[in-house]
Structure 1
């Protein structure tokens, strides 16, 4: 998977040779820059990173799901991919936008609820045809609904997501550290504290209980505060 880097220290000792994935880093294909790392997709059962969500610069919502097998190099503020920009463009989109009839004013249902109704896609023939028979004529209001297309059962982790200690919020996610061989997550990179006295730490994955609605830990705030700081590169300078 390319060169490895040392993620930091625990008790004055090197954690292990690992690969840090700083969310926000620039991502480059073999023939040019293809975007920025916007999120990391994790299989919570295997505790492994499966995909990177890479979004082309200046094209919000056009992110692609990049399999981790395509990553060949990681440095302080750069991720290199195997293949060219044309190969990147062929990857599956991370999001899908559907334009659905807006029923919120008349029926009280959101478009994403209506699309799940039985017979919705059968068209306007008969009383059960919701696809064309109700509010789909010329000039009818529509609403754009965005769906994630990450693999079923997997979870997206974004930079800035909250990290919850057992006794309250402790900081925000900065990225993940993975084993470059099997892509298993070894640490969560956390920005802990407030503007003054703020530090960054690598939390061992064994201290993470769930990644739903933020990162939840088995540690208290004091235990996190006792972790030694690590150096985390910030691609945007923050």
Structure 2
């Protein structure tokens, strides 16, 4: 029997073994396609479910709780990180459909993971309440960095979820890239617009007062950015293979 101190880690160790055993050697992707023809297996569906829960629901919820100084901010972020770790292992342990090397989802994943690690480390440092000596001098910088990374993470997570869908279905390549960009940017802008305006209405009054700008300013800013980007992606010819 393993020592009691490591028994809680056994499920993660088992997942790690599965991940290490996941091998793409010998996978043949049909010419002109970017995935194999097998269906998504149960482990990959579970990976999708867990990562969507962590990055699409829990991390953004934790960010909002942090903005309003809610006591559940830390527990929610810890829970999101645990769910994400399990989901990461499952993403490397699946069978069924296989994907080409260097796809957008796998290439972007290390950057998203780095953001999570940085955010967790900054949060842990702040939770220690070290305020004496040089800690007091850098605490303000750490607080600002923690807030900036926390606000970036929902957007970065959404991009990764889009990359996941693109990779799983094998589209948005070659001449289709520009059209995909236009539609994803347009749809994402509508979603961002709705989320930002909802947050400003529900929990953003104090933040708006600190910024000294009316909600209409942020409303106009989102629409302007959306229109600018969409203008230059709708009819541009993109030829990434």
TM-score of the superposed pair, with normalisation by structure 1: 0.24
Structure with more strand by fraction? 1
TM-score (norm 2): 0.24
